[in-house]
Structure 1
Amino acid sequence: MALRVRDAVRGVWREAAKFGAIGALAFVVDNGGYNLLVFGLPGGAEGGVMRADPVPASVVATSAAALFSWAGNRYWTYRHRHRENMTQELTLFLFVNAVGVAITAGTVFASRHLLGLESMASDNAARVFGWVLATLFRFVTYRRYVFVAP
């Protein structure tokens, strides 16, 4: 019994480490994309192409990161657990990530519109907070509903 528990804990830690690696790369895609869209290239005076639309920019950046995350999690983290019906799996994944997008965009909305903060630092702090909440939500739901053992 103790060996089964230990093996299960090891399995979850390995899974969490892979999930974390994919998440870290998706974080770079998400935040790098957001900062490029809203603030432009470093040193650029004009800002990004979506400088006046930070909430939609958050949705675009997080959506791109979600697609990257699906591929990484499906083919690496949960390669032994993914569904044979890819359409059903992708639909569930996209639903879970739509909730994650709403969580991340919601923190930017709250920072900008409820707290009145408009700096790069406050946007990024709000996004990191949203990212943490969304990541916890995703890990639990991926394991339980999206990538299930065959």
Structure 2
Amino acid sequence: MSQHARWRRLAGLGARFLTVGAISTLIEIAVFNLLFYVFGVDIVVAKIAASLVALVNAYLGNREWTFRDRGGHSRAVEITLFVIVNAACTALGALIVWAGVESASAFLGREAGPFAVNVVNLGSIAIVVVVRFLLYHFIVFRGERRPRPTETVDAT
């Protein structure tokens, strides 16, 4: 495969990943704001719960669309790796939100408001998206998917 073809394939993969990620991000933002501002859930708990809700969409979209031609692992290993990667990414996102909101509050000299909280949350999502793509590409959905054996009909 030529270098141009590899870059083109990677660009298509990235576009599908970003589409799935955009939908998952909208889900995550909506759930985060609902939990934090409507139900008064702790900010870190809200972030973790919102990430986990979006995770279901992310797995299905990435497995069945983005990386549909990849995945040398068994489904059980793939799901285990997916959960581990996303647990680490969720923790990273929560850590970034916590540190960012604390820093914004210290900088402002008061508790960070909704705008600052959501700017920090979006920043955490952007960072985690890059980390997730790399981990999905090189670890979770690694390698070409093995072709399924096809049944042959004996013509005799």
- TM-score calculated relative to the size of structure 1: 0.86
Q: Please say if residues 103 and 133 of structure 1, whose CA atoms lie closer than 8 Å, have aligned partners that are also in contact.
A: no
Q: Which residue of 2 aligns with 1:95?
A: 84
Q: Which amino acid aligns with 2:22?
A: A
Write out per-residue CA displacement over residues 15-69 of structure 1, whole angstroms, 9 at most, x where no aligned residue: 0000000000000000011011111xxxxxxxx22x1411100000011111210
Q: Which residue of 1 aligns with 2:131?
A: 137
Give SS of 1:143's match: helix
**1:84 Cα deviation after fit:** 5.2
Identify unmatched segments of 5+ residues in structure 1.
40-47
Higher relative contact order (CA 8 A, sep 6+): 2
How large is the RMSD of aligned CA atoms in angstroms? Answer: 1.5
Q: Distance in 1 between matches of 2:124 and 2:134?
A: 16
Write out per-residue CA displacement over residues 86-105 of structure 1, whole angstroms, 9 at most, x where no aligned residue: 11101111111112111211
Matched ranges for 1:38-57 at <5 A:
38-39=36-37, 48-49=38-39, 51-57=40-46
Q: Which amino acid aligns with 1:122?
A: A
Q: Please say if residues 20 and 61 of structure 2, whose CA atoms lie closer than 8 Å, have aligned partners that are also in contact.
A: yes
Match of 2:50 among 61, 66, 71: 61
Write out per-residue CA displacement over residues 94-131 of structure 1, whole angstroms, 9 at most, x where no aligned residue: 11111211121112211333442431111111111111
Q: Distance in 1 between matches of 2:43 and 2:120?
A: 12
Match of 2:10 among 9, 12, 16: 12
Return closer, same or farther for 1:85/1:55 CA change in 2, 3 Å cut-off: same
Give SS of 2:9's match: helix
Give SS of 1:91's match: helix
Q: Which residue of 2 aligns with 1:74?
A: 63
Q: Which residue of 2 aligns with 1:104?
A: 93
Q: Please say if residues 36 and 42 of structure 2, whose CA atoms lie closer than 8 Å, have aligned partners that are also in contact.
A: yes
Q: Which amino acid aligns with 1:17?
A: A
Give SS of 1:23's match: helix
Identity %: 27
**1:83 Cα deviation after fit:** 4.0
